Amino acid sequence: MIAISEIFGPTIQGEGSLIGTPTVFVRTGGCDYRCSWCDTMHAVDKKYKNEWLAMSANDVFQQVETLSGGKPILITLSGGNPAIQDLSELIRLGKAKGYRFAMETQGSVSAPWFAELDYLTLSPKPPSSKMKFDQIRFDTSLHNAQDINVSLKIVVADDADLEWAAEIKQQYPQLPLYLQPCNLELEGNPSLDSLTTKTLNLVEEVMQRGWFDATVLPQLHVYLWGNEKGV
């Protein structure tokens, strides 16, 4: 059984390498991290556990099929940290009917079934998260991904995060790097002016550093829907 926080869509992916891509989200419940600026605590904190559903892989996929009208679409596995549960059967069921799978994880937990994904976004958490980066576990996640499409996504809240991103960029030059400003306005809807200013500042920093192989993106879903769940 899989602990599910929410399943929703079709909508678009709001960040990372697949930004703007139509997708159905399968958000699992549970996480091994407690980031200081987490915007999905309803899928992280165990106090919300009574709101999560225990679903079989077949039940999850049937709901995805209903939402997509039976038409194959990208399925985005999110959380929490979706890597802490075995999602291999869900992937098998979906791929048998032409669905593709993307997952985002911080790289703190890995599994052999990562190789069955189509896309993997590794999003290690910077110093502002108050979480510790475990390079051995991260490298194991990268190894388990084998030959699939892997990218690196780092959120930036302050100068310390940017310096840390520079270190990670240097250590993993083979991974496409996506940078985005961190949304720190978690109550209500964030100010669009503030989001724009943070994005412009990040663009300026990246240009000054000559990181011409990096991609700077806003959190598109935050611009469109603020902090609303299930969109």
Q: Which residue has the tokens 């159905």?
A: 24
Question: In angstroms, rounded to a whole number, what is the distance separating the alpha carbons of residues 9 and 17?
Answer: 19
Question: In angstroms, rounded to a whole number, what is the distance separating the alpha carbons of residues 139 and 43?
Answer: 25
pLDDT digits (tens, 9 = 90+) for 45-102: 888 898 999 999 999 999 999 999 999 999 999 999 999 999 999 999 999 999 999 9
Q: Tell me what the pLDDT averaged over the chain comes to.
A: 93
What is the domain class of 2-180 according to CATH?
A: alpha beta
Identify which of 94, 148, 156, 159 has the alpha carbon closest to the alpha carbon of residue 121: 148
Amino acid identity for residue 225 in this structure: W
Q: Distance of alpha carbon 94 from its chain centroid, rounded?
A: 19
Q: Are 15 and 217 in contact (CB under 8 A)?
A: yes
With 90 as the cut, is the pLDDT of residue 219 above it? no
- Domain residues of the chain, as ranges? 2-180
pTM: 0.92
Q: Which residue has the tokens 């083979």?
A: 174
Question: In angstroms, rounded to a whole number, what is the distance separating the alpha carbons of residues 126 and 182?
Answer: 10
CA within 13 Å, CB half, 179: 28
Amino acid identity for residue 110 in this structure: S
Question: In angstroms, rounded to a whole number, what is the distance separating the alpha carbons of residues 82 and 27?
Answer: 7
Q: Are 183 and 37 in contact (CB under 8 A)?
A: yes
pLDDT digits (tens, 9 = 90+) for 121-169: 999 999 999 999 999 999 999 999 988 999 999 999 999 999 999 999 9
H or E element: which one contains 194? helix 192-208
